[in-house]
A and B are shown apart, each in its own frame.
Chain A
Amino acid sequence: MDDQAVIARVLAGERDEFEVLVQRHQKALHAFVFRQLRDRDAADEVVQMSFVRAYTNLARFRGDASFRTWLHQIALNLCRAEWRQRRRAPQASVEEIPEPSGPSGDAGSDPRQVRLRGLVERLPPRQRSVLAMRVYADMPFKEIAQAVGISENSAKVNFHHAVTRLKEWLTR
């Protein structure tokens, strides 16, 4: 059963069917959000809020884009709110930043992986979002463009910028 059919059943009153959508998308969404925020707890929270918002606004989902795109769009908006909040909050020193752990954590990873993740983090937010959706969620550029709110061509150009920058940093 595809997402649209599940949504129709949820809207028809079979509310528990929403769990099918959660199960289907939670891993990819978590991986995407973690790469935006670099914090497992914050990622857990944003993923949860994204699904809650999707559920409470499900009747307004028009189906112009896929449910996955819409969900990533909601998550990206929540990530942006989190970035704004972090900019306002006093910055913790490096020693105060807890070691991430758990599914998306860096603890125990080899130095090469830590470096790769660090490089992705240095990308501008839009390039990072496009790269994460393409590489980790395997989304087509049309859906990425809809989720980020840019043209399909611009999504491709942003991806190009992200990859060429990463290549440059990797060869330094």
Chain B
Amino acid sequence: MADALKSLLAWRCRRWRARLVELAGGELPASGREALEAHLRGCSRCARELESLRVVPDTFAGEAPDDPGPEYWLVQRQAIMRAIREAERMQEPDVETAPRWDWRLAVAPVTALLVAVLGWVALRQQFSAVVQQAQAPVAEEQMDVALLDAAPLFGLGAEEVAESTMTESDLLAEAGAALGLGNELEVSLEFEDLTPAEQELVIEWVGGTV
């Protein structure tokens, strides 16, 4: 349970993750800095993460392999250029042995292709209405399934979704606005990363917040 709670707390701070990376890299615009700094004053977890983002990359950058010297790269570069010339040679047609082009040879296959295409177009027009009729319920059904899956996250019941004309994007936008996350919800929602127990906690929390 403690682990689940820990994960949940991390999940609640998810909207700051990209901003923390920007702050650590000196790329956060002044407009976003104030809000993040206010959050950092009250969140020791994010403050620790910011410190990690400043220190850890340098640790790993320092383990870059030694440069083997110009000789190694020269040999590799020569091998690459040889491979490129070989690939180029393979692409070029052999002038000596390439057959001469005779347009008359193309008449029969082109005619057959034309007949096939015209036939297909005619058939498509004839049955397009039937096809559209058959496809529409499937698309609607898929959208319903997506909406029903998303509904509990936002405290909506199945009936409300069934009666709604909202799309899934509308739902995410509305939930994002309700939670004060803007469009962060869609990009930072990592619900599937949580265990089923944690997901339950998240559903309760989101439901309560909304």
Chain A contact residues, CB within 8 Å of chain B: 15-16, 18-19, 22-23, 26-27, 30-31, 34, 44, 47-48, 51-52, 55-56, 102-105, 112-113, 116-117, 120, 131, 134-136, 141, 151, 153-154, 156-157, 159-161, 163-164, 166-167, 170
Smallest CB gap from A55: residue in B? B84
Cβ–Cβ < 8 Å partners of A51 in chain B: 80, 83-84
Cβ–Cβ < 8 Å partners of B84 in chain A: 18, 51-52, 55-56
Q: How far is the CA of A136 from the CA of B61 in the complex (A)?
A: 6
Residue pairs across A and B with Cβ atoms less than 8 A apart, 8 shown, are: A18-B84, A23-B73, A27-B67, A34-B65, A51-B80, A131-B60, A151-B187, A170-B56
* Known contacts A26-B76, A103-B66, A103-B72; is-contact A163 B52 (Cβ 8 Å): yes
Chain B contact residues, CB within 8 Å of chain A: 14, 17-18, 20-22, 27, 49, 52-53, 56-57, 59-61, 63-68, 72-73, 76-77, 79-81, 83-84, 87-88, 91, 184, 187-188
Cβ–Cβ < 8 Å partners of B184 in chain A: 153
Q: Tell me if B87 and A160 are in contact (CB < 8 A).
A: no
Dominant secondary structure at the A interface: helix
Q: How far is the CA of A103 from the CA of B69 in the complex (A)?
A: 9
Name B57's contact: one of A112, A156, A163 (CB within 8 Å).
A163
Q: Tell me if B53 and A160 are in contact (CB < 8 A).
A: yes
Smallest CB gap from B77: residue in A? A22
Q: Tell me if B187 and A154 are in contact (CB < 8 A).
A: yes
Cβ–Cβ < 8 Å partners of B57 in chain A: 131, 134-135, 163
Cβ–Cβ < 8 Å partners of A113 in chain B: 63
* Known contacts A55-B84, A154-B187, A163-B53; is-contact A44 B76 (Cβ 8 Å): yes
